[in-house]
């Protein structure tokens, strides 16, 4: 998040969701181009890590990715209560963790949020809300898939009178997910930008180092809550 007045002026129209250009009639912002870049990097890394898979890893890249995925699986197993359930929902939950972590860390790149075409996706509410909406629909989809239409009986528990409150609660969950992630990442960007204006390259460094930790924590929190929502929706007694 290194910025200079020149960078800031150049990016004034594109910063915080402004359109960079149009593609097939759709506006493309810095958030979109950064997300494209992150997806491209993840695809390329995944390709080179899996093109010659070995039972016993022979490359550092395969070793590193296996360590990461095993770490996420252990984390989900503890959160969801069983390895079987963690493995079942691992693809969607691990995808959330990796993409959110990459998005958070993209905000630490020099010029992120100020250079046109480079802005942390999770620093905008539209992206974090999209993540939360996917969690919302995934939760109920897996609940219905696991239990059929009887899944919706839990909205009437413990008494039918609480139906409106239970419904509102289900919509509050994705709202809190999106606002928590957005607020932390965007707030961190503002703090670093302010520190940079006071003393460039020196004062923001401690906050940027903390940003590495905060970005990891936010990815963990989002994934943990998503895992708990899915685990609750698919639990036998739910």
Beta bridge partners of residue 28, listed in sequence order: 21
The residue with greater pLDDT, 139 or 118, is 139
pLDDT in tens, 71-116: 999 999 999 989 999 999 999 999 999 999 999 998 878 777 777 8
| Contact criterion met (CB below 8 Å) for 143 and 233 | yes
- Sign of the four-CA dihedral 109, 111, 117, 122: positive
In this model, does residue 229 exceed pLDDT 90?
yes
Q: Which of 132, 228, 219 is nearest to 184 (CA)?
A: 219
Q: Which pLDDT value is given to residue 35?
A: 93
Residue 150's CB: how many other CB atoms inside 10 A? 10
* For range 49-78, the mean pLDDT: 88
Cβ-based neighbour number of residue 236 at 10 Å? 6
Domain ranges of the chain: 5-233
Tokens of 195: 């520190």
- Distance of alpha carbon 201 from alpha carbon 196, whole angstroms: 7
> In DSSP terms, which residues pair with 26 in a beta bridge?
23
Residue 1: predicted pLDDT: 41
pLDDT (mean) for 17-25: 74
Q: Are 218 and 181 in contact (CB under 8 A)?
A: yes
Q: Which residue has the higher pLDDT, 56 or 229?
A: 229
């Amino acid at each position: 998040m290194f910025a200079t007045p020149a960078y800031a002026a150049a990016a004034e129209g594109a910063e915080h969701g402004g359109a960079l250009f149009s593609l097939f009639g759709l506006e493309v912002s810095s958030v979109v181009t950064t997300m494209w870049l992150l997806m491209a990097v993840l695809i390329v890394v995944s390709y080179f890590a899996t093109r010659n898979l070995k039972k016993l890893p022979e490359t550092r890249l395969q070793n590193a990715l296996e360590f990461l995925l095993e770490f996420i699986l252990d984390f989900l197993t503890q959160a969801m209560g069983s390895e079987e359930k963690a493995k079942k929902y691992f693809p969607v939950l691990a995808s959330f963790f990796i993409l959110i972590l990459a998005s958070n860390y993209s905000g630490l790149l020099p010029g992120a949020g100020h250079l046109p075409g480079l802005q942390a996706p999770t620093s905008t509410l539209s992206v974090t809300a999209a993540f939360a909406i996917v969690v919302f629909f995934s939760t109920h989809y897996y609940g219905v898939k696991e239990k059929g239409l009887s899944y919706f009986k839990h909205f009437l528990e413990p008494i039918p009178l609480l139906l409106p409150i239970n419904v509102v609660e289900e919509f509050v969950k994705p709202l809190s997910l999106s606002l928590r992630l957005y607020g932390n990442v965007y707030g961190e960007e503002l703090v670093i930008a302010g520190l940079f204006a006071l003393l460039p390259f020196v004062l923001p460094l401690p906050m940027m180092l903390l940003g590495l930790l905060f970005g990891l924590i936010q990815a963990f929190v989002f994934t943990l809550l998503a895992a708990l929502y899915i685990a609750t929706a698919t639990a036998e007694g739910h």
